[in-house]
Structure 1
Amino acid sequence: MKMRLLLALMVLALSLSACGNKPQNETHTTAVKADAPKIYQNFCISCHGNQLQGGQGPNIQKVGERLTEEELIKRIQKGGGGMPPFQVALKEDELKALAAWLADMK
């Protein structure tokens, strides 16, 4: 009887320990998405301007009207047209967050 009770308590404890926990990646990805403007500031502002208005690089204020998120990821990774590649400088989640943020610029 004591063994069953102990076993039931262990199962209950294990079940409850998993409740409400978010996967670590989800928390990190959410934080990175919120930091997309900071990523832009650190890597893009010098060429594309503080209002995305352009300068050395083109105006990207409405880049989401011209390029999809996937196209933006490729452009940021590979560079092109005078833009350097950032595939080494940015982590994958940073790259995706930046591209998603820019894709919303319409």
Structure 2
Amino acid sequence: MKIRLLIMIMIVLTLGLTACGNNGNKKQNDAQTTAVNADPQKIYQNFCISCHGNQLQGGEGPNIQKVGERLTEAEIIKRIQKGGGGMPPFQVALKEEELKALATWLAGLK
């Protein structure tokens, strides 16, 4: 699991660094920097751990240790945003870059 997380971080960093030479607008560059800095495990600890457990094993919410086998990243984003099946929506609670970082990390759990 640590290797997968390291690979995901490296991909995100690589994508962020390739945008550094772009002279595009500052807002886009700030969003990319924030996305690189968004730590999905910290986001999980702050918003998800109380229902999904400290090892993603479930509790009040379902086990999500291998959620990437069942749901795509887009489906995970939709579920986090809209909630459903007893899960509250987090659309307002999470910034777009935090949502993306968390969904990318969860989608990689297979």
Match of 1:75 in 2: 79
Residue segments in structure 2 that go unaligned for 5+ positions in a row? 1-19, 24-28
- Measured in 2, the distance between the counterparts of 1:28 and 1:78 equals 23
**C-alpha distance in 1, partners of 2:67/2:97?**
20
Write the mapping of 1:22-101 to structure 2, written as runs, cut at 5 A: 23-32=29-38, 35-101=39-105
The answer to whether the 8 Å contact 2:69/2:109 transfers is: yes
After superposition, the CA RMSD in angstroms is 1.7
- 1:3 is matched with which residue? none
Greater gyration radius: 1
State the Cα deviation string for residues 8-27 of structure 1 (Å, max 9, x = none).
Answer: xxxxxxxxxxx968833322
Equivalent position amino acid for 2:98 in 1: E
Amino acid at match of 2:105: W
What is the percentage of aligned positions where both structures have the same residue?
Answer: 78
**Aligned partners of 2:57 and 2:65 also within 8 Å:** yes
Distance 1:100 1:85 in 2: 18
Output the TM-score relative to the length of structure 2: 0.73
Q: Secondary structure at the match of 1:83?
A: coil
Quick one: distance in 2 between partners of 1:95 and 1:24?
16
Structure-2 separation of matches of 1:87 and 1:20: 32
Aligned-partner SS, 2:84: coil
Give me the TM-score of the superposition, normalised by structure 1: 0.76
